[in-house]
Amino acid sequence: MKNIITAIDVGSTSMRMRVVDFSPNGKGKIVEELVYPVATGRDTFADRKISAKTLRALCGGLRQFAEISREYRAENIRAVATSALREAENKDIVIDRIWHESGVRLDVLDNIEEGRLICQPLLPFLRQNLAKSKKPVLFMELGGGGTVSMLLRQEKILRANYRRLGTTRFSLLHGFADNDQFGENLVRNAVNSLLAQFEEFPIGECVLLNQPLRKLVARANEKAAIPGGYVLTAAELRRRLDLFNGNPETAADAVAADEAATLLPTLMIVNYLCKKLKLAKCYLIGADLLDAVQSDMYSTSRGKNPVQEFSAQSLLSARGVGEKYNYDEKHALTVATLATQLFDELAAYLDLTERDRLLLEAAATLHDVGSYISDEAHHKHSFYIIQWSEILGVNRAERGLIAMIARYHRKAAPLSSHEDYMKLNLADRLRVTKMAALLRLADALDHAHLQNIKKVGVKIQDDLLLATARSRGDSTIEQQAFKDKSALFTAVTGLRAELRVKTGVE
């Protein structure tokens, strides 16, 4: 049985389409691949909106892509766009017009979803080539409009960040290509700012994802090939930058004209990165965002939920946020474990979903990060920190829910006078309240921060929620805290909550 899909990437310099025929074993065969130049980034990064001319080009190109896709009888089409559309002030009009003219529904990714997607080629690459690396590995997706960066140790995400450090942005700056010192200063300042967020970590390796550089290397240096990508020495990168400065037409003959202009800032960024980190080499992934999109589509067609499957990485990313703000890791992870135990037994009763489980676990992990600012009213500080932190695989709306759940882990319950809470729709207000009630109970079970209680079970008997646990030590503090913090759960469910604890290890 055939499974033909069409993946489309609307980038800052071009649109790319790939039609892939997947066999039953999941192996994909490319049956058509096209590139359609359109300077979307030039419009957005210079004028903050898509021009009428570029809009016509987008509609025409996507109409052509849709016709070709129909010829192949593709079962599904997914078109994604990143910063060049994401930052356009008239993006809603553009998306609507594209749908009307071509029948293609354009999915504008936020930077968090973009980060989740590019982890698909990144993690296998790390397993193949850097599994033994003991020092943290810096990953950077150098895009036209921005850079997704991550710091990983043994596939654990320590930090994740998005910056408007884009190769197309640089190429559009007046004087960038004509004044070496001007360009070098811009690159140096941008890279230094990006690296500042990782300054407490001894970075050992650097992995890059950049389509024009990959094309250039693939054509010019077969010896650089390794499983899933390429390895480039600092000396080779320096030589390529010198060659480009001396004769850009010759140096860029491996890439399309629309991409060639981004090679200079790309090479400058990578060269300075290697110099700053004192790296003798860096790595280049052979896949790109389009590969990730088509992989996502195949998984979805097989009944899988790629976003849900990524939840483990999302939680590691949340832990990275906690580490950044010096959280009490043992307490945070104990509360997260207890919260999910409560969730698993009460989710059906509370009409909560599997995705809600991730939100609750992330909120439990980060509920005390506000103590980094002040112990006083730390639940409110936690709200602001989470709201403005990046958790990979969690979009902005979901991050807001996580922040809200953490905000209500203590003190006042959600009230109609709380402006941020009332901005949520009714369904989300109910979700937040229910999960905050569970978080309060879980937090009470480790109120002394001693991790004496590791497991809790619950049973509903008439109007009573009976929680049972075993403690390694005295549990007087936890029992009193459970009683004090159960009021919100009672308000939500109408059930009284009681904790019974046996002392001692079985």
What is the CATH classification number for the domain harbouring 249? 3.30.420.150
In a domain, residue 301? The reply is no
Same domain, 327 and 283: no
pLDDT of residue 217: 84
Cβ atoms < 10 Å from Cβ of 492: 17
- 302 is a domain residue: no
Contacts of 134 (CB under 8 A, 6+ apart): 204
Instruction: Please report whether residue 371 resides in a domain.
Output: yes
Averaged over 164-187, what is the pLDDT?
81
- Domain termination site, one of 292, 319, 344: 292
Question: Same domain, yes or no, for 447 and 493?
Answer: yes
More confident residue, 298 or 51: 51
The answer to whether residue 299 is domain-embedded is: no
Q: What is the mean pLDDT of residues 311-323?
A: 91
Instruction: Tokens 């805290």: give the residue.
Output: 481
pLDDT at position 243 is 79
pLDDT at 268 over 80: yes
Domain that holds residue 72: 3-109
Q: What is the pLDDT of residue 307?
A: 81
Tell me the percentage of the chain whose pLDDT exceeds 70. 95
Q: What's the confidence (pLDDT) of residue 339?
A: 97
**CA pair distance 425, 260, nearest whole angstrom:** 47
Higher-scoring residue by pLDDT: 253, 182: 182
Residue 257 included in any domain: yes
Average pLDDT on 425-441 reads 96
User: Is there a single domain that holds both residue 121 and residue 213?
Assistant: yes
Same domain, 362 and 251: no
Cβ neighbors of 382 (< 8 A, separation 6 or more) are: 366, 367, 368, 369, 370, 371, 403, 406, 407, 409
Q: Which of 66-70, 159-163, 222-226, 386-390 has the highest mean pLDDT?
A: 66-70
Which residues are bridge partners to 505 per DSSP? none
Whether residue 150 sits in one domain with residue 117: yes
Arithmetic mean of pLDDT, 475-497: 94
Please check whether residue 138 lies inside any domain of the structure: yes
Given the DSSP bridges, would you call strands 225-226 and 205-209 parallel, antiparallel or unpaired? unpaired
With bands split at pLDDT 50, 70 and 90, how would you rate the model's confidence at 218?
A: confident
pLDDT, tens only, 118-164: 998 999 999 999 988 889 999 999 999 999 999 998 888 888 888 88
Ranges 298-312, 364-378, 406-420, 424-438: which has the least confidence: 298-312
Q: What is the CATH number of the domain that holds 69?
A: 3.30.420.40
Contact criterion met (CB below 8 Å) for 392 and 115:
yes
pLDDT surpassing 80 at residue 505: no
Q: Is the pLDDT of residue 258 over 80?
A: no
Instruction: Please state, in angstroms and rounded to a whole number, the distance separating the CA atoms of residues 286 and 305.
Output: 25
Amino acid 155: pLDDT: 82
- Give the count of domains, the chain: 3
Q: Do residues 394 and 310 make contact, with C-beta atoms less than 8 angstroms apart?
A: no
Q: What is the largest CA-CA distance in the chain?
A: 82
Q: Of the candidates 234, 257, 292, which is a domain's last residue?
A: 292
Looking at the fold, whether 270 and 126 belong to one and the same domain comes out as: yes
- Whether 119 and 99 share a structural domain: no
98 and 127 housed in the same domain: no
* Residue that is last in its domain, among 58, 80, 109: 109
pLDDT of residue 300: 87
CA distances from 60 to 66, 70, 286, 347 (A): 10, 16, 29, 48
Where is pLDDT greater, at 505 or 94? 94
| DSSP code for 395 | -
**Span of 14-23, 223-232, 421-430 with lowest mean pLDDT:** 223-232
Asked if residue 123 and residue 104 are part of one domain, the reply reads no
Residue 10: what pLDDT? 96
What average pLDDT does the chain have? 90
Band of pLDDT at residue 225, cut at 50, 70 and 90: confident
343: in domain? yes
Q: How confident is the model at residue 253 (pLDDT cuts 50, 70, 90)?
A: low
Return the minimum-mean-pLDDT range out of 248-252, 391-395, 486-490: 248-252
In a domain? residue 334: yes
446 and 490 both lie in a single domain: yes
Instruction: Provide the CATH number for the domain around residue 350.
Output: 1.10.3210.10
Q: What is the spatial distance between Cα 490 and Cα 484, in angstroms, rounded to a whole number?
A: 11
Same domain, yes or no, for 99 and 120? no
Q: Report how far Cα 339 is from the mean position of its chain's Cα atoms.
A: 24
Residue carrying structure tokens 């590691």:
316
Q: What is the mean pLDDT of residues 41-70?
A: 95
Residues 363 and 462 in one domain: yes
Check: CB of residue 411 under 8 Å from CB of residue 380. no
